[in-house]
Amino acid sequence: MVKPLEVCILAAGKGTRMKSSQPKVLQTLAGKPLLGHILDTAELLQPKRIHVVVGPEGTELQDAFADRDHINWVVQSDRLGTGHAVMQAAPFFSGDGPVLILLGDAPLIRTATLSEMLITEADLLVLTVKLDDPTGYGRIQRNKKGQVNAIVEEKDADAATREIQEINSGVMLCGAGLIEPWLGQLDNKNQQQEYLLTDIIKIAATQDYKVETLMANDEAEVTGVNDFVQLAKLERSFQQSQAETFMADGVHIIDPARFDVRGEVSFGRDVRVDINVLFEGNVVIGDAVQIGPNCIIKDSRIGNGTVIKANSVIDGAVVSQNCSVGPFARLRPGSYMQNAAAVGNFVEMKKSTLGPGSKASHLSYLGDSQIGENVNIGAGTITCNYDGVNKWQTKIGDGVFVGSNTALVAPVSLAEGVTIAAGSTITTDVPADHLAVGRGRQRNIPDWQRPEKESETNPDKKSG
């Protein structure tokens, strides 16, 4: 019978080097807090319980993850080291299963790596990695037989120990019921004057417990974040990995160094993504979609064959098959483009439906609108949906032609086949197949003399 796993995540660090009022583990990578990445990974292991050790200001973390009511939040009132942090959580361990220790500021640990750790028969398993430059990390010390007998922190290491390239990742798995006795034997007789969790390796080895290591395949997987330089490097490592995964699945990404996913995105076949495209939230991209440079797509679905041109922003929208968006278009939440619809440069939609084959090619605002099939929206057209207090809807039937520079003052309805003369302000409903002209009466004034600058007609007066 497999004994139930418990996970303990250390998240009490201040992040002093970030010079931020926000807790370090709430800084974001790929649009998600560092701690959120770790929690997602830990939950995939289906542990019996997850304990998160936070500092005295941990209320902000608890509020950020209020939807995860299964977490046991443990407060470390005094930051006296990693061993002391686990001591605070230890009274909550059930003692009948292994305990997996994770770090809240090392967000890219893979579930596959942790699953491999769980099959060990060791009493204590430490995840390690080899670094070309191990400066700042605790070194894995081994005896002549190659067995681990200690982890030595750099401040406590001599010159020979500092030459060791295998370092401690901070991730370890302790056998059932063993960690609490080991924690009870820790002391703070070191340069840091802290209770260091790494000292349990020496304690376990001295007592002839089976101590082993597992080496991570990827340095980024165990890299922690202490400042924004490290965070940026880890962000790019993560995005590069994402891009390579998508490209292996057939997505044509023009430059993976300028590709960002901050959420979940799925791609169909034969998709092409140009530079500086950002995907946020939950995004679904269909087959044969072409996405131009500098676009943002958030919480949206894009249908097969659609072309999204440069510098377009799509947020909370549904774009059906064979549509055209942009350049410089903005689809706000609630926008729905049906098959073969098109919006062009500097067109904004909000909470509106653009019917099949309909188009708004230039400089228009469509808000709170229901627009039918094969409608033409002329340049400069706006739906005046807001009266200063309430929002009102505009309804446009099939085959309507709206001339340029038209203002449709909602609530208003245009029936099928209506034509709106350019430059009109429409304030009442228009019946089917009518021409609506809503202009002020034009006056032509003969011999009009344009005004001139005073400095040109009065040499004594200076301009500016």
> Cα(76)–Cα(55) distance, rounded to whole angstroms?
5
Residue 194 tokens, joined:
């802290």
Cis peptide leading into residue 181 (ω within 30°): no
Pairing state between β 99-103 and 6-11: parallel
The residues near 69 (Cβ < 8 Å, ≥ 6 apart) are none
Q: Please name which of 342, 349, 391, 341 lies closest in space to residue 367, comparing C-alpha atoms.
A: 349
pLDDT in tens, 400-426: 999 999 999 999 999 999 999 999 999
Q: Do the Cβ atoms of 104 and 29 come closer than 8 Å?
A: no
Q: Which CATH number fits domain 6-222: 3.40.50.1390, 3.40.50.720, 3.40.50.300, 3.90.550.10?
A: 3.90.550.10
Q: How confident is the model at residue 176 (pLDDT cuts 50, 70, 90)?
A: confident
The residues near 42 (Cβ < 8 Å, ≥ 6 apart) are 7, 9, 50, 100, 102, 114
Please name the residue that has the structure tokens 């295998």: 166
Please name the residue that has the structure tokens 């909602």: 410
Burial degree of 387 (CB within 10 A; 0-12, 13-18, 19+): exposed
Which residues have a catalytic role annotated?
362
Q: Do the Cβ atoms of 361 and 344 come closer than 8 Å?
A: yes
Residue 322 tokens, joined:
């064979």
E strand or H helix that includes residue 370 = strand 369-371
Is residue 458 over pLDDT 60?
A: no
What is the mean predicted confidence (pLDDT) over 438-457? 78
User: What is the tally of helices (H) and strands (E) in the chain?
Assistant: 9, 39
Q: Return the higher-pLDDT residue of 318 and 120.
A: 318
Please name the residue that has the structure tokens 């400066």: 135
> Cα(104)–Cα(102) distance, rounded to whole angstroms?
7
Residue 122 tokens, joined:
């060791």
Cis peptide leading into residue 98 (ω within 30°): no
Class of domain 228-436: mainly beta
Pairing state between β 99-103 and 166-174: antiparallel
Q: Do the Cβ atoms of 5 and 120 come closer than 8 Å?
A: no
Q: Please name which of 376, 336, 340 lies closest in space to residue 354, comparing C-alpha atoms.
A: 336
Q: Please name which of 225, 173, 239 lies closest in space to residue 204, comparing C-alpha atoms.
A: 173
pLDDT in tens, 238-297: 999 999 999 999 999 999 999 999 999 999 999 999 999 999 999 999 999 999 999 999
**Dihedrals phi, psi of 25, to nearest 5 degrees:** -75, -5
Half-sphere exposure of 317 (CA within 13 A, CB side): 28
Is residue 457 over pLDDT 90?
A: no
What is the mean predicted confidence (pLDDT) over 104-118? 94
Q: How confident is the model at residue 462 (pLDDT cuts 50, 70, 90)?
A: very low
What is the mean predicted confidence (pLDDT) over 429-452? 87
Q: What percent of the chain has pLDDT over 90?
A: 79
Q: Please name which of 46, 99, 39, 40 lies closest in space to residue 73, comparing C-alpha atoms.
A: 39
The Cβ of residue 455 has, within 10 Å, a number of other Cβ atoms equal to 12
pLDDT in tens, 360-378: 999 999 999 999 999 999 9
Average pLDDT across the chain, whole number? 93
Residue 80 tokens, joined:
């006296």
Q: Please name which of 409, 436, 410 lies closest in space to residue 422, comparing C-alpha atoms.
A: 436
> Cα(303)–Cα(428) distance, rounded to whole angstroms?
36
User: The sheet that has 272-273: what strands, in order across it?
Assistant: 252-253, 272-273, 290-291, 307-308, 324-325, 342-345, 359-362, 376-377, 401-402, 419-420, 435-436
Q: How confident is the model at residue 459 (pLDDT cuts 50, 70, 90)?
A: low
Helix, strand, coil in percent for the chain, rounding step 5: 20, 30, 50
Residue 8 tokens, joined:
């303990």
Q: How confident is the model at residue 464 (pLDDT cuts 50, 70, 90)?
A: very low
> Cα(94)–Cα(350) distance, rounded to whole angstroms?
53
Domain extent listing, the chain: 6-222, 228-436
Is residue 84 over pLDDT 60?
A: yes
